[in-house]
């Protein structure tokens, strides 16, 4: 028998592991899932609207006070075609957004200051407890007497209502930051400004965004109530004007417009919150 010489410089090719075939994703599966989810999420709304349509027609409720949904929808389209709904929506959004932005600009820095510096918290906490337990609408006469019935009083009331969710969530978010992160940053010689910018704010951001989203709902609710009392334009004024003039379908159309704007505002803030949080997690990874 002859020995077979082997070259040490030649490496044997290792056997490749068997590949398991991946089942191909069936086309149309994702649209089907999305369609099923949309149907599941809209069933309750469809049933509610159907009940609203049927109950006045069969006489369970007087259709004078609760018109069928189809009639309310027709009134809404008539108001939209005439441009009235658009004008009132623009006025309400301007007031709401102005107070909302001012509240963010005031509450976030103040929350950081209170949460980070204990002497400031000791001085301001009693006063904050008094005001945050005071209903914003209870102060509407006070704002009206001091600031008048113009735009200033309504925007100031929105600021007052929106400050508290943002402020309290900012304080909670900063105080909930992991102490080990702060200690590690200080050990590395990070300055106070750098500590706030690179550690505190990113860690507290999700909680702050939740407070901003809650404040968005407060801004619209308080505004509608304020416009019902003293205003010459806006969705709250439209609802009260329709009620006083016994235009019941137009009143419900104004309520539907308010609901639609509130939902759109909430979904927009939720989308921004998810995008910002997702980008923050990606940067950390």
Domain boundaries, the chain: 102-284
- Checking phi first, is residue 5 left (phi over 0); if not, alpha (psi -120 to 50) or beta? beta
Is it the case that residue 282 has pLDDT exceeding 90? no
Looking at residue 21, its pLDDT comes to 52
Looking at residue 3, its pLDDT comes to 43
The per-residue pLDDT for range 238-272, each reduced to its tens digit, is 999 998 888 899 999 999 999 988 888 888 888 88
Is it the case that residue 1 has pLDDT exceeding 80? no
Is it the case that residue 12 has pLDDT exceeding 50? no
Q: Number of helices (H) and strands (E), helices first, in the chain?
A: 11, 0
How far lies 282's CA from each of 44, 218, 245, 279, in Å?
36, 31, 56, 5
Looking at residue 159, its pLDDT comes to 92
- pLDDT band of residue 2 (cuts 50, 70, 90) is very low
Tokens 């001012």 correspond to what residue? 102
For 91-95, 143-147, 165-169, 195-199, which range has the lowest pLDDT when averaged over its residues? 195-199
For 7-21, 30-44, 89-103, which range has the lowest pLDDT when averaged over its residues? 7-21
Tokens 């019935």 correspond to what residue? 149
Of 39, 159, 55, 35, nearest in space to 103 by CA: 159
Q: What is the mean pLDDT of residues 123-134?
A: 85
Class of domain 102-284: mainly alpha
Both ends of the chain: CA-CA distance in Å?
62
Is it the case that residue 285 has pLDDT exceeding 80? no
For the chain, the maximum distance between any two Cα atoms, rounded to a whole number of angstroms, is 115
Looking at residue 100, its pLDDT comes to 92
For the stretch 243-249, contacts whose Cβ atoms lie closer than 8 Å and that sit 24 or more positions apart, written own/partner, are: 248/64, 248/65, 248/67, 249/67, 249/71, 249/72, 249/74, 249/75
For 9-23, 163-177, 266-280, which range has the lowest pLDDT when averaged over its residues? 9-23
pTM: 0.77
Looking at residue 163, its pLDDT comes to 92
> Crossing angle, helix 248-284 and helix 69-82, to 10 degrees?
80
**What CA–CA distance (Å, rounded) separates 285 from 282?**
5
Is it the case that residue 31 has pLDDT exceeding 90? no
Answer whether 228's CB lies under 8 Å from 197's CB: no
Those residues with Cβ within 8 angstroms of residue 151's Cβ, 6 or more apart along the chain or in another chain:
95
Q: What is the mean pLDDT of the chain?
A: 81
Looking at residue 281, its pLDDT comes to 60
The per-residue pLDDT for range 53-107, each reduced to its tens digit, is 898 888 888 888 889 999 999 998 998 888 888 899 999 899 999 999 999 999 9
């Amino acid at each position: 028998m002859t020995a077979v010489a082997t070259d040490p410089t030649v490496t044997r090719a290792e056997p490749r592991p068997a590949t398991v075939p991946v089942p191909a994703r069936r086309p149309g599966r994702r649209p089907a899932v999305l369609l099923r989810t949309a149907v599941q999420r809209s069933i309750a709304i469809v049933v509610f609207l159907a009940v609203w349509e049927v109950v006045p027609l069969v006489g369970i409720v007087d259709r004078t006070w609760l018109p069928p949904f189809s009639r309310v929808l027709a009134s809404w389209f008539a108001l939209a075609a005439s441009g009235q709904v658009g004008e009132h929506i623009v006025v309400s959004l301007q007031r709401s957004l102005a107070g909302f932005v001012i509240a963010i600009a005031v509450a976030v820095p103040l929350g950081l200051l209170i949460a980070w510096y204990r002497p400031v918290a000791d001085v301001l906490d009693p006063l904050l407890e008094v005001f945050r337990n005071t209903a914003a609408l209870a102060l509407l006469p006070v704002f009206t007497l001091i600031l008048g019935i113009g735009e200033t009083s309504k925007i100031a009331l929105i600021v007052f209502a929106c400050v508290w969710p943002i402020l309290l969530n900012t304080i909670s978010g900063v105080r909930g930051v992991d102490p080990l992160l702060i200690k590690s940053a200080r050990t590395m010689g990070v300055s106070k400004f750098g500590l706030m910018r690179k550690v505190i704010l990113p860690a507290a951001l999700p909680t702050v965004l939740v407070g901003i989203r809650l404040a968005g709902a407060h801004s619209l609710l308080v505004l509608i109530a304020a416009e019902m009392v003293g205003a010459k334009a806006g969705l709250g004024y439209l609802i009260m004007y329709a009620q006083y003039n016994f235009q019941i379908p137009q009143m419900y159309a104004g309520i539907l417009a308010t609901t639609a704007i509130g939902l759109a505002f909430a979904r927009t803030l939720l989308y921004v919150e998810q995008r910002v949080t997702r980008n923050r997690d990606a940067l950390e990874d």
